[in-house]
Amino acid sequence: MTVIRFSDLCAQGAVAGQRVFIRADLNVPQDDHGAITEDTRIRASVACIQMALDAGAAVMVTSHLGRPTEGAFKLADSLVPVARRLSELLKRPVPLLGNWLGGVPVAPGQVVLLENCRINVGEKKNNEALARQMAELCDIFVHDAFGTAHRAEASTYGIAEYAKVACAGPLLAAEMDAISKALASPKRPLVAIVAGSKVSTKLTILKSLSANVDQLIVGGGIANTFMLASGLKIGKSLAEPDLLAEAKAVMEAMKARGAAVPIPVDVVTAKTFAADAPATTKAATEVADDDLILDIGPKTAAALAQQLKAAGTIVWNGPVGVFEFAAFENGTRVLAQAIAQSSAFSIAGGGDTLAAIAKYGIERDMGYISTGGGAFLEVLEGKTLPAFEVLMRRGQMQAKPVVVAPSLDIARGVSMMGSEASLAKILKTVASSMTGSVPQMSAALAAGDVAKANALLHAIKGYVPIFAVDALVDQVTHVEKISKTESLAVVTPLFADLLPQLDGLLQEIGVFLAQN
């Protein structure tokens, strides 16, 4: 994967003094008064911001919050509470800036939070003009919003196309690394828990996991649909009878591979959906017509817990029962504790799952907790997230293999200098000076000294038109011009293309001189 990592740019010293635009996902749940009820995403975004500050950048951060109407700012959409929390976590002031598209006053070593980016007209539809306007604000765009990486919006996608440099922040990179560790070459058995109210919303993920996992534990309304598909009665429980064929197909695909979808052998039921509804534990074959299944039963939970403890890798999305109600939390709690005790690499994502992890205090026992909801699911589905697609494209452009083209134009040289002998004379001088200056340009860039690399190139620029092909003359002129004003991050890939061409030119000169 050729995504440029922000941490690498920082380590190369390419970020100092640069304007860095970080797209974070600070979309946190709030209560009716706007107070933040869960701040995981803000805490997870601190590392990237701190990294940028430590590297000496002028830092702009933005995020969406909720789903506001574009062009119609309301106080409830404001990032004010987020700015306050971020400021506490960073232990420094974090001013919040509205109407920021025209320009952002921020100096190196400072950070500003840019008001809810979904207020900007054209954000959702990835409007090109808007994306370009945002790209103009910065030297380096950092995508660190894993939770929003499945959206192709102006601040997550378009900006990555037009920014001078576009790279992945540490959170985005860590999320992708963790999920590929879980799914690409997992330690087996690989057990997935996919639970939630509807099969329909998770059908694609069930199908794609059924081709890869060893056990596919289903829960909630999804489990009810699978119970129906196995010929069990589910009373008036939530299910999607029109998806029975799909559920059967998943079970058959699993069976064909020697894997399984474990169907509950017992369940906890109630007559109404309420916290105080009397709970009855019964065999899965005994569900009455007026029963609601609200949890898996203790035998089922114990059997699944054994599988989880024996697993090599666990992927968890969704609680298996109504764990918010004490009488129906047993299944989710038992599975959570089994995951905590298992030596498997475990990865979890999704809002309800995170709430369950918090409720049972097993954060530290998880291998990785994703900040993504929809994004986490889409990665599990095997999709390439738009954020990654564009960052890979940008990364490839900057890291494309260099093809060294013929560079010496002897006919031109002879006509400019009058004879082969006079051309040989000047080439001898040129070769001796360039042999030193090409590695010096490399070294200057490695030391972050763009001005020095520019000066060295400037010295060459004067004489290449005498004997080099047009393409190389143009390339030298272009890189020399850009490196006069642009940052190390922008200039480095240009030199990476140019220096091998200059090496090639030197070799051709060597061949010519050997013959003349």
The entry of ligand 3PG, Mg ion, none that residue 27 binds, CB within 5 to 8 Å by partner kind = ligand 3PG
Residue closer to ligand 3PG by CB (options 148, 225) is: 148
- In DSSP notation, 76-129 reads GG--HHHHHHHHHHHTS---EESS-TT-----TT-EEEEP-GGGSTTTTTT-HH
**Contact assessment for residue 282 and residue 293, using Cβ atoms and an 8 Å cutoff:** no
Q: Binding to ligand 3PG by residue 29, rule CB under 6 A? A: no
Cis peptide before 108 (omega within 30 of 0): no
The entry of Mg ion, ligand 3PG, none that residue 12 binds, CB within 5 to 8 Å by partner kind = none
User: 327 to 386, contacts with ligand 3PG by CB under 6 A?
Assistant: 373-374
Catalytic annotation present for 13: no
Shortest CB 34 distance to Mg ion, Å: 8
Shortest CB 35 distance to Mg ion, Å: 11
**Contact assessment for residue 351 and residue 357, using Cβ atoms and an 8 Å cutoff:** no
Per-residue contact string for residues 174-213; x = within reach of Mg ion by CB under 5 A:
----------------------------------------
Q: Could you tell me which residues come within 8 angstroms of residue 42 by beta carbon, excluding any fewer than 6 positions away?
A: 26, 28, 36, 82, 85, 86, 89
CB atoms within 10 A of CB 26: 27
Q: Which is catalytic among the residues 66, 71, 98, 351?
A: 351
End-to-end Cα, the chain, rounded Å: 46
Strand order in the sheet with 292-296: 280-283, 266-270, 292-296
| Window of 52-60, 145-153, 323-331, 387-395 that interacts with ligand 3PG by CB under 6 A | 145-153
Assigned token pair, 274: 């309420």
Q: Which amino acid is at 481?
A: K
C-alpha to C-alpha distance for 5 and 14, rounded to whole angstroms: 12
Residue whose C-beta lies closest to Mg ion? 66
Catalytic annotation present for 41: yes
Catalytic annotation present for 196: no
Q: Which is catalytic among the residues 198, 207, 233, 309?
A: 198
Residue closer to ligand 3PG by CB (options 139, 153) is: 153
Q: Binding residue for ligand 3PG (CB under 6 A) from 6, 25, 55, 137?
A: 25
| Window of 146-154, 259-267, 290-298, 453-461 that interacts with ligand 3PG by CB under 6 A | 146-154
Residue closer to ligand 3PG by CB (options 25, 214) is: 25
HEC readout, 214-228: CEEEEEHHHHHHHHH
Count Cβ atoms within 10 A of the Cβ of residue 21 and give its class: 0-12 exposed, 13-18 middle, 19 or more buried. buried
**Residue 422: helix, strand or coil by DSSP?**
helix
Torsion, Cα of 79, 82, 84, 86 (10° steps): -130
User: 57 to 96, contacts with Mg ion by CB under 5 A?
Assistant: 66
- Measured at the alpha carbon of residue 318, what is the angle toward residues 314 and 320, in degrees to the nearest 5? 95
Q: Binding residue for ligand 3PG (CB under 6 A) from 18, 126, 148, 398?
A: 148
Catalytic annotation present for 198: yes
Q: Binding to Mg ion by residue 34, rule CB under 5 A? A: no
Shortest CB 118 distance to ligand 3PG, Å: 8
Shortest CB 169 distance to ligand 3PG, Å: 15
Q: Give me the active site residues, please.
A: 41, 198, 351, 374
Residues in contact with ligand 3PG by the rule CB under 6 A: 25, 27, 67, 147-148, 151, 373-374
Residues in contact with Mg ion by the rule CB under 5 A: 30, 66
